[in-house]
Amino acid sequence: MSLKAEFERAGLPTTVLDDFDVGLLEWYYSFLGQENAAGGFFSAGDAHRILERHFFEALVFARESLRSYTRLTSHNVSRETRILDAGSGPGLPGFLFYTHRSEPAVTLLDSSRRRLGLLESRLKAAELRHSVLQFCYERLEEHIGVYDLVIMRALIPFPACLELICQLQKPGGMVSLSMGAPPLETPAMRDYLTALGYVSRETIQPPELEFLGQRSFKILMKASAPRKPYPRNWKRIKESIQEWTES
C-alpha cells in the first residue's frame, strides 16, 4: 500500500506530503516498521500506531518548522541550510527534514548507535538520493558545529535543553522544539533564555494533531552569544532540569 493510501486509510490529511520526497518517506516508514523489533524504536503499545502517533506528528513538525524558518529568518531552506536533530533515536524527526524537497543538510546526532546505527546501515545499502546527511554518535554537550536550525523531539525538558545547544548556533539561528502542552514562561524562565541568548518567537499548535491530545511546537531565535557562566557542565544542567520540573 502506498504511503498516500496509508494516510487515507488512517483518515490523515495527505496534503502534508506535498513538501516532501514521497519515495524517501515511503522507504523510511517501511524502515521504522521493519526494524522496530530489533531497534526498540517504539513501545509495544505504539507498535501498531507508528503512522499516527510518531510518523505523522513528526512530519507535521518538519513542515511547520521549515515554514517558520523561512518566515522568521527571511531565508529559503536550501542545500546550504544546516540542520541538527539533537537526540535523533532512529532518525525521527531528522530524517523527515532530510526528505524535504529543498534538500537541507541534515546531521542526525545520538549518543548511542543502537537505533540510529540501524538507519545508517540500511541507508548505505539502499540506492537513495545523496544530498548531505551525516550521522554523529556523541553526547550533545560534547558536539562541535554551527547550525542554522536545531530541532528536538522529547529529548530534555524545556528550557534546560537550550543550554546544551546554545554554543552550536550564531545569532540568527533558530530552534524548534516538539512538545506536549505549551510551556508557561515565567519571568525567571525568560531571564534564563536571555542569558542563553534566546528569544521566544512563537508557539504552533497544529489542528491536524488535536486527535493526539496536546501538541505544540516551540520556536525560538538565537539573538546573542550566551552570557557567562553559560553553558555550564552537565551536572549543573541536570540540577536546573530538577528546578524547572518542580517549579
Mean pLDDT (the chain) is 93
The whole model's pTM is what?
Answer: 0.95
- Digit-coded pLDDT (tens) for 199-239: 999 999 999 999 999 999 999 999 999 999 999 998 898 88
Q: Is the pLDDT of residue 129 over 80?
A: no
**110 in Cβ contact with 116 (< 8 Å):** yes
Q: Are strands 105-110 and 149-153 parallel, antiparallel or unpaired?
A: unpaired
Q: How many other C-beta atoms are found inside a 10 Å radius of the C-beta of residue 208?
A: 17
Q: What is the DSSP string of 116-139?
A: HHHHHHHHHHS----S-EEEEES-
The count of structural domains within the chain is 1
What is the sign, positive or negative, of the torsion defined by CA atoms of 198, 88, 140, 183? positive
All residues at 6 or more sequence positions from 36 whose CB lies less than 8 Å from its CB, including other chains? 42, 47, 50
Surface-to-core class of residue 203, CB atoms within 10 Å of its CB (0-12 exposed, 13-18 middle, 19+ buried): middle
pLDDT of residue 247: 65
Strand, helix or coil at 33? helix
pLDDT of residue 60: 98
Rounded CA gap, 220 and 188, in Å? Answer: 17
Rounded CA gap, 239 and 158, in Å? Answer: 13
Mean pLDDT computed over 4-10:
95
- CATH number of domain containing 20: 3.40.50.150
Residue 120's domain comprises: 3-246
CA distances to 24, 52, 105, 226 from 47, rounded to whole Å, are 21, 11, 30, 41
pLDDT of residue 162: 95
CA distances to 115, 128, 200, 229 from 39, rounded to whole Å, are 5, 22, 35, 38
Q: Which three cell numbers stand for residue 228?
A: 557567562
Query: Greater confidence, 190 or 45?
Result: 190
pLDDT band at residue 240, thresholds of 50, 70 and 90? confident
pLDDT band at residue 184, thresholds of 50, 70 and 90? confident
Q: How many CA atoms lie within 13 A of 108 on its CB side?
A: 24
Closest C-alpha among 60, 57, 237, 40 to residue 156: 237
CA distances to 170, 231, 238, 245 from 225, rounded to whole Å, are 7, 10, 22, 26
% the chain with pLDDT above 70:
96
